[in-house]
């Protein structure tokens, strides 16, 4: 299967700690890199991860709280110093795009590359990016400022050719694409070789959902069915449920409830409050609801 991985660059929340960087991730899919959120220190974390700056063409920002976007202007500046020429696409709520334009005009004059701002409607569930192998959808969330998550969904691939059958029937290379697209093969004597003898099933399409800062949304699972791996913020344990409700965040237990109801295969926890010196309490609470869950940490690389 083609690589589909998530690189955790930061999984902390607003207050800095010695354990975690602010939120940022790289989604790697079929050789392309997509950034989700860009807290302080993101470009340093990319260096540590040996991720290529030149392969990063799209940055998705969930909302304009600083722990999700304060690293963006520094990264834009660094791209300019490195001589970038490729267009950089930024997807963000309209208010943040307007702020970024002012920052760029002040700090990053004379860039040799174009920055294309794509305004995201955080209240709508819609496809905002598409290429030959992938779509990216918005996931409306409930936080203090406008906020959304992002769903990276692979497009279905074609079946795999059985090389032994190709050789057995001496099928020319010119017919392989037709066979992958479902056609039978007719031998010179008129014998029809059914398509199912010539191929094996395609790899199942995978999907990764990133749910940034949000209060618990009992209906959220409806947008997440079919997701393979879910990242859901888990700022608090249930000992701080009142704080979660006050500041529109989720507990680890609530994140697990979303994963359970959506039927995902794997749950990733992150965006930890600085009040927890050991996040195992979050893991233990989530596992009471959903078994296949893990804590994220900086430099983790997770297969979707």
Res. 105 pLDDT band, cuts 50 70 90 = very high
The domains of the chain, with CATH numbers, are 4-157+203-303 (3.60.15.10), 160-200 (no CATH)
Write down the catalytic residue from 67, 189, 213, 261. Answer: 67
Residue 92 confidence (pLDDT): 96
Of 193, 191, 190, 167, which Cα lies nearest the Cα of 179? 193
pLDDT given for residue 119 in this prediction = 96
Please compute the mean of the pLDDT values over residues 131-142 and round it to a whole number.
Answer: 97
Assign 158 a pLDDT band (cuts: 50, 70, 90). confident
**Do 46 and 53 contact (CB within 8 A), yes or no?**
yes
Model pLDDT, residue 104: 96
Computed over every residue of the chain, the mean pLDDT equals: 95
Active site residue 121: no
The gap from C-alpha 243 to its chain's centroid, in whole angstroms, comes to 27
Model pLDDT, residue 16: 87
CB 300 within 8 A of CB 48: no
Say if residue 152's pLDDT is above 90: yes
How many Å apart are CA 304 and CA 291, to the nearest integer?
Answer: 17
Question: Stretch 236-243: mean pLDDT, rounded?
Answer: 97
Which residue, 102, 46, 49, is CA-closest to 71?
Answer: 46
pTM: 0.92
pLDDT digits 0-9 by tens, 189-226: 888 999 999 999 988 999 999 999 999 999 999 999 99
Task: Kindly compute the dihedral angle of the four CA atoms of residues 218, 284, 274, 144, in this order, to the nearest 10 degrees.
Answer: 0
pLDDT tens-digit map of 247-283: 999 999 999 999 999 999 999 999 999 999 999 999 9
């Amino acid at each position: 299967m083609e690589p589909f991985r998530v690189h955790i660059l930061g999984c902390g929340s607003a207050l800095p700690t010695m354990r975690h960087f602010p939120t940022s991730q790289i989604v790697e899919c079929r050789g392309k890199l997509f950034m989700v959120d860009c807290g302080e220190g993101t470009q340093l974390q990319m260096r540590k991860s040996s991720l290529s700056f030149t392969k990063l063409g799209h940055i998705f920002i969930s909302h304009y709280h600083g722990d999700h976007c304060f690293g963006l202007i520094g990264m834009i500046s660094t791209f300019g110093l490195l001589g970038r020429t490729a267009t950089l696409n930024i997807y963000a709520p309209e208010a943040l795009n307007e702020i970024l334009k002012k920052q760029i005009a002040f700090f990053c004059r004379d860039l040799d590359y174009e920055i294309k701002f794509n305004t995201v409607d955080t209240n709508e569930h819609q496809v905002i990016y598409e290429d030959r192998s992938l779509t990216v959808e918005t996931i409306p969330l409930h936080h203090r400022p406008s906020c959304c998550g992002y769903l990276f969904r692979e497009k279905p691939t074609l079946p795999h050719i059985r090389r032994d059958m190709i050789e057995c029937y001496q099928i020319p290379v010119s017919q392989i694409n037709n066979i992958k697209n479902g056609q039978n093969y007719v031998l010179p004597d008129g014998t029809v070789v059914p398509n199912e003898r010539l191929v094996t099933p395609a790899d199942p399409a995978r999907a990764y959902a990133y749910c940034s800062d949000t209060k618990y949304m009992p209906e959220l699972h409806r947008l997440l069915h079919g997701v393979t791996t879910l990242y859901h913020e888990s700022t608090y344990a249930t000992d701080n449920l009142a704080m979660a409700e006050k500041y529109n965040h989720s507990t680890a237990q609530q994140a697990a409830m979303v994963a359970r109801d959506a039927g995902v295969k794997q749950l990733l926890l992150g965006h930890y409050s600085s009040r927890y010196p050991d996040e195992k309490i979050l893991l233990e609470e989530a596992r009471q609801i959903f078994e296949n869950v893990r804590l994220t940490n900086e430099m983790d690389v997770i297969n979707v």
